[in-house]
Homo-oligomer: A and B are copies of this chain.
């Protein structure tokens, strides 16, 4: 019996795949050798989920893996027309990041409502200066992105007493469609972006959309950097069109040290870590091993991405 070849596009630390010992021939590669190794792979595990190497290497010559799994929720970094049009199945890490990202968004909303950054600044200056903070209960949120991450965010904000509207690609029960977006944005105290990056969503948070938000509104992006026109956001903050923002994702990652975004007033910058709670790598590894066991047994895979839409379609 020939073992299937599992090609792993590695990152540090590598995945723990001990459970697959004797059940797969595991070949590790870096981005540089990915193209030459792709033809021998039955399965490709994209462990380095920040890499665009798959998108670059896929169009080449030779046979291609029948299944690609990425240890991320978004698939924008690996998708190319040739992969989208192929028979290869793409799966993602749906589920692992839902609750951690929801908690991170709740942390940001509460921190902005209570002006925790301002309090920490006064602490550094050893200044006792009391101010009034915002009550979160009774405020309104608009969560853009109705996948499992957006839904988890909406659930947690509701638990904090926030009236929350969820916006997706198309209206359905409990989800508003794009036609309602501007109206919801104009009334929201908190605008949360948790959408996948697709051709439809790229650049959706632009000057016009920041312009319809309330001067008291705060904006949070935990989706993908290119969903937001970063310069328009910086201008909106400088002009006080909105009161605050937090970005966990950026058009260019890592954010370069000379990016003006680091120093924008009322903007919280974090290094794409909203979903990274202790043990997250092990969870991602275990999720892939579970999927591999399904695949090896000939059972249907779950978390299968609609490659044209760019995400796992769901209810």
Which residues in A have some Cβ–Cβ distance to B below 8 Å?
99-100, 103-104, 106-107, 110-111, 113-114, 116-117, 119-120, 122-123, 126-137, 156, 159-160, 253-255, 257-259, 262-263, 268-273, 276-280
Of B116, B159, B278, which contacts A135 at CB under 8 A? Answer: B278
Whole-angstrom CA separation of A131 from B122 in the bound complex: 25
Within the complex, the shortest CB–CB distance from A220 to chain B, in Å, comes to: 13
Inter-chain contacts of A135 with B (CB < 8 A): 99-100, 103, 277-278
| Chain multiplicity (copies) | 2
A107-B114 contact, Cβ under 8 Å, with A120-B268, A135-B277, A270-B119:
yes
List the B residue with the shortest CB-CB distance to A270: B119
Within the complex, the shortest CB–CB distance from A131 to chain B, in Å, comes to: 7
Within the complex, the shortest CB–CB distance from A25 to chain B, in Å, comes to: 31
Whole-angstrom CA separation of A137 from B103 in the bound complex: 8
Inter-chain contacts of A113 with B (CB < 8 A): 103, 107
Within the complex, the shortest CB–CB distance from A19 to chain B, in Å, comes to: 22
Whole-angstrom CA separation of A127 from B276 in the bound complex: 17
Which of A104, A259, A273 has the largest number of chain B CB atoms within 10 A?
A273
Inter-chain contacts of A100 with B (CB < 8 A): 133, 135
Whole-angstrom CA separation of A143 from B104 in the bound complex: 23
Inter-chain contacts of A110 with B (CB < 8 A): 103, 106-107, 110-111
Whole-angstrom CA separation of A156 from B128 in the bound complex: 28
Are A269 and B160 closer than 8 Å at their CB atoms? no
- Given A107-B107, A128-B253, A132-B276, 17 more A-B residue pairs with CB atoms under 8 Å apart are A100-B135, A103-B110, A104-B133, A106-B106, A106-B160, A111-B116, A120-B268, A123-B269, A126-B258, A126-B263, A128-B257, A130-B271, A130-B272, A132-B277, A132-B279, A133-B277, A159-B159
Are A107 and B99 closer than 8 Å at their CB atoms? no
Are B280 and A132 closer than 8 Å at their CB atoms? yes
Within the complex, the shortest CB–CB distance from A30 to chain B, in Å, comes to: 19
List the B residue with the shortest CB-CB distance to A269: B123
Are A276 and B133 closer than 8 Å at their CB atoms? yes
Within the complex, the shortest CB–CB distance from A214 to chain B, in Å, comes to: 15
Which of A262, A263, A272 has the largest number of chain B CB atoms within 10 A?
A262
Are B277 and A129 closer than 8 Å at their CB atoms? no
Whole-angstrom CA separation of A136 from B102 in the bound complex: 11
A273-B117 contact, Cβ under 8 Å, with A110-B110, A156-B160:
no
Inter-chain contacts of A262 with B (CB < 8 A): 123, 126
List the B residue with the shortest CB-CB distance to A263: B126
Within the complex, the shortest CB–CB distance from A98 to chain B, in Å, comes to: 11
Inter-chain contacts of A119 with B (CB < 8 A): 268-271, 273
